[in-house]
Amino acid sequence: MRKGSTFWAPWLVLCLSSAALASPALDQLKQASLHEQRCLCQQLETQTLFTRVRETTTPVDSQSSAGELLARAEAAIQASVDDAKAGFTIAPLRFIEGYKGPLNPQLTFAAFDDGRTRLGAALNGVYSVAKNPSPKGLKISFCSYDEGAYRNTLDRAGPSLRRACAVVASLPDPAPGFSPGDEEPIERETWRIVRHLCGVDEAPQVETKSPPGSCKQTWTFEDAAIRVVRAIQNETIRLERIGVPAQKEMSQLTERLEPFTAELQTLAEHEAPGFVPRFTTIEDAIRQYAWRRSRYVLGVDGRVDFFPLKGGFNPSAEPDKNPLPRAQLASWQANLAGSWGRERVFLKMGLLLGQKRSEHMDSLNPLSPGLSFKATYVVGALVGQLTDDEENVQVEGQELPPHLLVGMEGSVAFVTKRTPTHPNLVDNANAALWLEFRFTEKLAVRTGFQLDAETVTRPEDTSSTPPRAELGKLQYSVPAFVLTALQF
Amino acid sequence: MPTERLTFKIAWREPIPARLTYLIDNGTVITHPNGDDDRLTGTQEILFTYDAPKSDIHIIRWLLWFPEHTLTKLAATARRSSSRKFSPLNSQPGEQKIYWERSGAL
């Protein structure tokens, strides 16, 4: 677009001699602008679709990463009367600027107070029903622009148009400069229309050309403003092309345009207001929209735990039979999990397969398949309101207010073959019931009780009377725990 | 009513998909995004050709939509079929978050 004050400077002197000849119908132009804007916003309300919207949530569960998404990284510390552990999970692709792909790989490193170390990797895919939301879906109105402010803008720009029209009235017909055989040039059409819009005496009327269904019923203020600017630019270019023979005309024009520089700049920069509300509103609307839509995540997760690595003096009476642990594999587990989340509810179900051993000298137990589950429910806001009466989540600055969740999760692993020494079908199980305080979306504290059930084995004793056979049965513990998680 | 063919081009730096949510030419809504028009979605560039009543000046208004993203070096240009050269419609806005909604004249 050709515009800029430097462009006008050589231009603005030409027209004062015939300034009185122009009288634009400002009120009609303004009314036409307001009508066109209203008409367009109503058409956009019913026609426009948006692209897919995705959203990530915060997993604070250190059990398994399968089926849950992570924004970027999470550090968690969990302490209970039984043990303590600290873990760090990172989603490396999320550190790539702009990456919003459906795949969410995660890497986990964790340490336990008994010296064990955990390495894990997970790959999750996400699908959200929150795709192609319409403005109504996002609850964004294209008609929420401030019509009063637009009217004021038009009122302020009106005098500028009137004064600039005084310059336009004196512009000569550019047609004589065109080459013979030229079709009706654009420049002449602009000159013809702008003279009509500026109300130049004896200028013939020019009608708008609009297809059926168009919002343009007649010329608007914007139509006039851009043509005033363009007509003066065209005349400048015409005189520049003529060069020396038009030097006098050019200097007269420049002299006349000088007082109108500010007006022309105002008109050159004038635009009708946009239809979209300011961006913070949209960000909140996207979050609200995603809250109301289902999101599915399917993922696989694998992790291995290692015994500690120890060296040096072994205090055992029989070091050969009781060697120090050398970072042998303690357990491995693979998970396939899927989750569904919508509004306050999150549900996750998974299948797991793994092996473990109690001591590093033992052999791994037989393969143990199992099931896992997790459910959370957002109880409400800790401060203020989480939702309004219509269950629309209240978002401020793209963040939910501090809120409270209640959750339960657990897993159960089975033996593949029951034996006299291992008569129970269940090899191990755990369940937890907790409350989670999400003070911010980056900081959460979870506290609750965990039920652990694990098969412990009584060794065979042939020296007792009667002899005792080896027997494995479940042992229960119910430790309380506190987990603090930071997410980035 | 005589018409002319125009090509609207919008480009940005990042290899991120965005959608031309609306395009208005001289007060007429040109794009019909209710349909699955692939031409309205692109990565780094969208080129959209349409017919409009012949006019000395086309005031073009557009909305490029890229939720959750920030795009830089956005530029909108247009040309008539009679011209090979694309003319800039507006000054480059630097970077924009979520959407870019502007207007310009060809």
Is residue A59's pLDDT more than 60? Answer: no
The number of C-alpha atoms within 13 Å of A141 and in the hemisphere containing its C-beta is 6
Task: Please provide the average confidence, as pLDDT, over all residues in chain A.
Answer: 78
Phi and psi based region of residue A406 (left: phi greater than 0; alpha: psi -120 to 50; beta: remaining): beta
d(CA B34, CA A11): 46
Give B-chain residues touching A39 at CB under 8 angstroms. Answer: 27
Q: Do B29 and A49 touch (CB under 8 A)?
A: no
Q: Are strands A329-342 and A295-306 parallel, antiparallel or unpaired?
A: antiparallel
Give B-chain residues touching A128 at CB under 8 angstroms. Answer: none
Query: Closest chain A residue to B61 measured between Cα atoms?
Result: A274
**Closest Cα partner for A275 from A46, A51, A41?**
A41
Is residue A4's pLDDT more than 50? Answer: no
DSSP class per residue in A30-89: HHHHHHHHHHHHHHHHHH---------------S--TT---SSEEEEEEEESS-EEEEEE
d(CA A466, CA A79): 42
Which residue in the set A47, A271, A272 is minimally distant from B29, CB to CB? Answer: A47
Give A-chain residues touching B90 at CB under 8 angstroms. Answer: 1
Q: Do A40 and B29 touch (CB under 8 A)?
A: yes
Give A-chain residues touching B68 at CB under 8 angstroms. Answer: 53-54, 100, 286
- pLDDT digit string, tens, across residues A230-268: 888 888 887 887 777 778 888 888 888 877 788 888 888
Beta bridge partners of A474: A455
Query: Closest chain A residue to B86 measured between Cα atoms?
Result: A1
In this prediction, residue A485 carries a pLDDT of 85
d(CA A180, CA A177): 9
Query: Radius of gyration over alpha carbons of chain B, in Å?
Result: 13
A67, A181, A207, A212, A213 from A217: Cα distances, Å: 55, 33, 9, 10, 10
Is residue A304's pLDDT more than 80? Answer: yes
Is residue A22's pLDDT more than 90? Answer: no
Continuous segment of H or E residues that includes residue A232: helix A221-242
Does the beta carbon of B95 lie under 8 angstroms from any beta carbon of chain A? no
Phi, psi of A186 (to 5 degrees): -60, -40
Question: CA of A78, closest CA in chain B: separation in Å?
Answer: 33
In this prediction, residue A10 carries a pLDDT of 42
Query: pLDDT class for A9, splitting at 50, 70, 90?
Result: very low
Is residue A13's pLDDT more than 50? Answer: no
Structure tokens at A376: 């959370």
Q: What distance lies between CA A460 and its chain's CA centroid? A: 60
In this prediction, residue A383 carries a pLDDT of 87
Burial A239-273 (b: 16+ CB within 10 A, else e): beeeeeebeeebebbbebbeebbebbbbbbebbbe
d(CA A110, CA A118): 5
Please report, for chain A, the start and end positions of each structural domain, with discontinuous segments joined by +.
Answer: 5-49+139-269, 86-129+281-487
Give A-chain residues touching B78 at CB under 8 angstroms. Answer: none
Is residue A5's pLDDT more than 50? Answer: no
Query: Closest chain B residue to A184 measured between Cα atoms?
Result: B56
Please report, for chain B, the start and end positions of each structural domain, with discontinuous segments joined by +.
Answer: 3-105
In this prediction, residue A56 carries a pLDDT of 34
Question: What was the ipTM of the complex prediction?
Answer: 0.87
Is residue A181's pLDDT more than 60? Answer: no
Give A-chain residues touching B1 at CB under 8 angstroms. Answer: 209, 211
Q: 3-state DSSP call for residue A291?
A: helix
d(CA B48, CA B23): 10
Give the Cβ contact number of residue A486 at 10 Å. Answer: 15
CB–CB of A410/A429 below 8 Å?
yes
Which residue in the set B67, B88, B89 is minimally distant from A50, CB to CB? Answer: B67
Q: Which of A39, A47, A196, A232 to mutate to test the interface with B (most CBs of B within 10 A)?
A: A47
Does the beta carbon of B4 lie under 8 angstroms from any beta carbon of chain A? no
**Closest Cα partner for A395 from A276, A275, A292, A274?**
A292
Low-confidence ranges of chain B (pLDDT < 70): 32-38, 68, 93
Question: CA of A166, closest CA in chain B: separation in Å?
Answer: 21
- pLDDT digit string, tens, across residues A107-133: 888 888 778 888 888 887 766 655 555
Does the beta carbon of B77 lie under 8 angstroms from any beta carbon of chain A? no
Largest Cα separation within chain B, whole Å, is: 42
Query: pLDDT class for A350, splitting at 50, 70, 90?
Result: very high
Does the beta carbon of B61 lie under 8 angstroms from any beta carbon of chain A? yes
Could you tell me where the DSSP H helices lie in A95-198? 135-138, 147-168, 186-197
| Pairs across A and B, CB distance < 8 A | 111
Structure tokens at B82: 């009679």
- pLDDT digit string, tens, across residues A381-398: 998 888 888 777 887 766
Question: CA of A160, closest CA in chain B: separation in Å?
Answer: 19
Q: Which of A209, A232, A267 to mutate to test the interface with B (most CBs of B within 10 A)?
A: A209
In this prediction, residue A269 carries a pLDDT of 82
- pLDDT digit string, tens, across residues A72-114: 677 777 776 667 788 888 888 878 765 666 777 888 888 887 7
Residues in chain B: 106
Question: CA of B2, closest CA in chain A: separation in Å?
Answer: 9
Is residue A420's pLDDT more than 80? Answer: no
Instruction: List the 363-422 stretch of A: residues with Cβ below 8 A of B.
Output: none
d(CA A19, CA A8): 17
Tell me the mean pLDDT in the region A339-347.
87
In this prediction, residue A459 carries a pLDDT of 78
Does the beta carbon of B27 lie under 8 angstroms from any beta carbon of chain A? yes
d(CA A184, CA A174): 11
Phi, psi of A471 (to 5 degrees): -145, 135
Query: Quick one: what percent of chain A has pLDDT higher than 90?
Result: 8
Amino acid at A250: M
Query: pLDDT class for A14, splitting at 50, 70, 90?
Result: very low
Does the beta carbon of A34 lie under 8 angstroms from any beta carbon of chain B? no
Is residue A343's pLDDT more than 80? Answer: yes
In this prediction, residue B78 carries a pLDDT of 94
> In which order are the strands placed within the sheet that holds B75-80?
B45-53, B3-11, B75-80, B87-88
Phi, psi of B65 (to 5 degrees): -120, 125
**Closest Cα partner for A297 from A447, A40, A105, A115?**
A105
Query: Radius of gyration over alpha carbons of chain A, in Å?
Result: 38
Is residue A20's pLDDT more than 60? Answer: no
Which residue in the set A50, A190, A215 is minimally distant from B28, CB to CB? Answer: A215
- pLDDT digit string, tens, across residues A291-302: 877 878 888 888
In this prediction, residue A365 carries a pLDDT of 83
> Which residue, chain included where needed, has tokens 């028009």?
B37
Q: Do B65 and A50 touch (CB under 8 A)?
A: yes
Higher pLDDT, A55 or A62: A62
Does the beta carbon of B81 lie under 8 angstroms from any beta carbon of chain A? no
Query: pLDDT class for A12, splitting at 50, 70, 90?
Result: very low
d(CA A286, CA A398): 9
Give the Cβ contact number of residue B61 at 10 Å. Answer: 23
d(CA A294, CA A129): 5
CB–CB of B80/B30 below 8 Å?
no
Tell me the mean pLDDT in the region A144-152.
86
d(CA A59, CA B106): 50
Q: Do B57 and A230 touch (CB under 8 A)?
A: yes
Question: CA of A17, closest CA in chain B: separation in Å?
Answer: 27
Q: Do A100 and B1 touch (CB under 8 A)?
A: no
Higher pLDDT, A179 or B60: B60
CB–CB of A166/A230 below 8 Å?
no
Q: 3-state DSSP call for residue A481?
A: strand
CB–CB of B62/B23 below 8 Å?
yes
Which residue in the set B1, B41, B69 is minimally distant from A209, CB to CB? Answer: B1
Q: Do A1 and B87 touch (CB under 8 A)?
A: yes
CATH number of A86-129+281-487: 2.40.160
Output the pTM of the full model. Answer: 0.61
d(CA A355, CA A369): 9
d(CA A285, CA A130): 12
d(CA B57, CA A206): 14
Give A-chain residues touching B41 at CB under 8 angstroms. Answer: 51
Phi, psi of A39 (to 5 degrees): -60, -45
Q: Where are the beta strands (DSSP E) in A200-308?
A: 295-306
Tell me the mean pLDDT in the region A212-235.
88
Q: Do A49 and B24 touch (CB under 8 A)?
A: no
In this prediction, residue A322 carries a pLDDT of 83
Is residue A15's pLDDT more than 50? Answer: no
